[in-house]
A and B are shown apart, each in its own frame.
Chain A
Amino acid sequence: MMSYLEEHYELIHKTPRLFALHVTREQLLDTLHQITTHTSFDTLSQLTCTDWIEEERFELGYMLTNALRSHNLMLKCSIARDKVTMPSLALLFAQAEVMERELHEMFGIGFEGNETLYDFALEGWCDIPPMRREFDTLAYVNAHYDFREGREDNLDVKEEIKKRKAAAKSAKETPSGA
């Protein structure tokens, strides 16, 4: 199982049971096809996406598992943040459909060939897709929801310490001056 991968790809050993492999967007379908036919990694168990905003890319991770569930292989594929479409794996793996649907909603990634890219968890969402790094959840909360009042007497402790020190200092100086 490993020998085929070692021969054909640059395999990264993360742990004894977890491997990673970098592919480009164009190679993805072909590589997946090769791996599922020639090795026992034939199940998609997770589809992840990481937003590397400072490098202007999304990193998608296709987590493959073998039939024995003993080893994991992650296919990593970087795509530009502005040109965000990927080929869909829905025909290869039935479970990919819902995972892609989720990523579509959370990151705004399009999956060509997936017919089910409608609302997943959010209803009537019209802001930036929420899992993108530029989406500021606290700013959104402040704009859309209110917090309960009554906590305005919160003090900044550093300021208070400074004030106290200054007060103590002036208290010391005053008697000496007088």
Chain B
Amino acid sequence: MKFELKNSLAPLSALSKIFEHPQTLCYPEVKSETVSGYRGFHINDLSTCIGCANCQDVCMNEAIDMIAIDKDKNPKNNSGCIPRIDYGRCCWCSLCTDVCPPDSLKLESECIWADDDANRFLYQPKDKPC
């Protein structure tokens, strides 16, 4: 096959990008916009959570513990338990939110977290109405 001069020079067309504005997202300085519906951290509306442990049952990673709550925010919570998620197990599949009968467990768009201690990755969902 004959190699043409054109084929050697064509890649230089990339140089035209020098004059364009950079496309980089400068993360720590500029936070990118959160996408609605992104599967990030859990939130749990305690005033509607009934402590049924459906989320615990469906979780294939056994990431969800049901722990005792200090004071009942929801009188219908029969067990007095609310879910806590182990982020050393979670895969953010959102099956737990799919099976939640009162729809109290949800995922928010925030998802960024780094820590130097592995024992800190137990997460108590924030009490936020969705």
Complex contact flag A–B (Cβ < 8 Å): yes
Q: How many residues of A contact B (CB 8 A)?
A: 13
A94 at the interface (CB under 8 A from B): no
* Residue A153 is within 8 A (CB to CB) of chain B in the complex: yes
Contact of A161 among B56, B68, B78, B88 (CB under 8 A): B78
Give the complex CA separation of A150 and B122 in angstroms.
Answer: 8
Contacts of A149 in B (CB 8 A): 119
Contact B65 A153 (CB under 8 A): yes
Asked if residues B122 and A160 are in contact (CB atoms below 8 Å), the reply is: no
Contact across chains for B52 and A157 when beta carbons are under 8 A apart: yes
- 9-residue interface stretch from B15-23, B79-87, B94-102, B105-113: B79-87
| Closest chain B CB from A129 CB (angstroms) | 24
Known: A150-B119, A151-B122. A160 touches B79 (CB 8 A): yes
For B52, list chain A residues within 8 Å (CB).
157
B51 part of interface (Cβ distance < 8 Å)? yes
* Residues in A135-151 with C-beta less than 8 Å from chain B: 148-151
Whether B118 is near chain A, meaning CB under 8 Å from some CB there, is: yes
A148–B67 CB distance below 8 A = no
Instruction: Specify which of B81, B119, B122 is in contact with A155 (CB 8 Å cutoff).
Output: B81
> A157-B81, A160-B81 known; A148 and B118 CB under 8 Å?
yes
Question: How far is A175 from B15 in the complex, measured between Cα atoms in Å?
Answer: 87
User: Would you list which residues of chain B between 29 and 65 have a CB under 8 Å from chain A?
Assistant: 51-53, 56, 65
Which of A153, A158, A161, A164 lies in contact with B67, CB distance below 8 A?
Answer: A153
- When distances are taken between beta carbons in the complex, the residues of chain B under 8 Å from A156 are 66
How near does chain B come to A150, taking the closest CB pair, in angstroms? 6
User: Would you list which residues of chain B between 70 and 92 have a CB under 8 Å from chain A?
Assistant: 78-81, 86, 88
Q: A156 — nearest CB in chain B belongs to which residue?
A: B66
Q: Does A3 contact B (CB under 8 A)?
A: no
Residues of A within 8 Å of B86, CB to CB, are 148, 151
Q: A157-B51, A157-B52 are in contact. List 8 more A-B contacts (CB 8 A).
A: A148-B86, A151-B122, A155-B68, A155-B81, A157-B81, A160-B79, A160-B80, A164-B79
A-B contact pairs, 20 of them (CB 8 A): A148-B88, A148-B118, A150-B119, A150-B122, A151-B65, A151-B86, A151-B122, A155-B68, A155-B79, A156-B66, A157-B52, A157-B53, A157-B81, A160-B79, A160-B80, A160-B81, A161-B79, A164-B78, A164-B79, A164-B80
The 8 A-B pairs at the shortest CB distance, nearest first, are namely A154-B65, A157-B53, A160-B79, A157-B79, A161-B79, A161-B78, A157-B66, A155-B66
Residues of A within 8 A of B (CB): 148-151, 153-158, 160-161, 164
